[in-house]
Copies of this chain bind each other. A is one copy, B any other.
């Protein structure tokens, strides 16, 4: 059966994105493949096999258009409040902490925006979000 193993986003500035994803989520380069016109960079951390693939197109000068369809990648963390404080202290500019609940469904989270404008949801681990 199909197993979800990564998602890919195109980014404008490789080093800027590497810095962000390392500082924000501990993601490091698992593999980097450099072609003539583009590079593929697979980022991972020890928490999951699921990777984030960055594509850097070498002739891309304009910011990518992100549209209004794709939403976000989500990560879970052990201590949401501590992470929010850390993001703030490290000038990662997190959005405010929020909550959403409906019946037995409950989520505490904040969003943060990566250097290209992609949104990432940081969720308190628990319930649906393990």
Q: Which residues of A contact B (CB under 8 A)?
A: 1-10, 24-26, 30-31, 33-35, 40, 42, 45-50, 52-53, 55, 64-77, 83, 102-103, 105, 116-118, 121-123, 125, 128-130
Contact of A70 with B67 at beta-carbon distance under 8 Å, contacts A4-B52, A35-B102, A49-B130 already known: yes
**Could you list 18 A-B pairs, sorted by A, with CB under 8 Å?**
A1-B77, A2-B25, A2-B45, A2-B76, A4-B74, A5-B75, A5-B130, A6-B129, A7-B72, A8-B72, A8-B74, A9-B71, A10-B69, A10-B71, A33-B105, A49-B130, A65-B65, A67-B69
Interchain CA distance A49-B130 in the complex, whole Å: 8
